[in-house]
Amino acid sequence: MEKMISRYVKDYMTKKVISVSRDASVYEVAKKMSEKGISCIVVVEGTKPVGIITERDMIKRVITSHKDIKKIRVDEVMSKPIFSLPPDADIISAGESMKQKKVRKFPIVKDNKLVGVITETDVIQGIIKLVRHLNWELVTMKITLEDYIEKLKEIHVL
């Protein structure tokens, strides 16, 4: 039986999300990002995301402004309002939303609770898997080019 390739964000997102509260210092965030090898941290109130702080935010709003990273709080420099997606969002739509909103990461939220993060890299990997799957179908099933194009349209690649 042929294995279906998922087209949903939930199957490509990072589920173990590092988060901080609004009152964390930028220094604490930078240290966590460095220790965990990540490029963003979601800012939460309880389990609800209220912002996101990225490496880019720190460069633009802290370092180039010569602010004291031990004194400045995340709330002052995080990106807000936050753009999020549900776990059942389509991976192609996630990529389109990233391009439209000019962001590289989306917190994934279900019932007002943070459940994951999807990055531009995750989206690209998901799309590559979908296209490879369709390419393999073309080879093994000997489907026509017209059928292949229809399948691409079905998953919103074309």
Mean pLDDT per 10-residue section of the chain, whose length is 158 residues: 74 94 95 94 93 93 88 93 94 94 94 94 91 69 72 72
Question: What is the length of the chain?
Answer: 158
Q: Specify the pLDDT at position 138.
A: 59
Question: In CATH, what is the architecture of 16-89+104-118?
Answer: Roll (3.10)
**Other CB atoms within 10 Å distance of the CB of residue 56:** 14
Provide the residue ranges of all domains of the chain, joining segments of one domain with +: 16-89+104-118
22: left (phi > 0), else alpha (psi -120 to 50), else beta?
A: alpha
pLDDT for the residue 1? 37
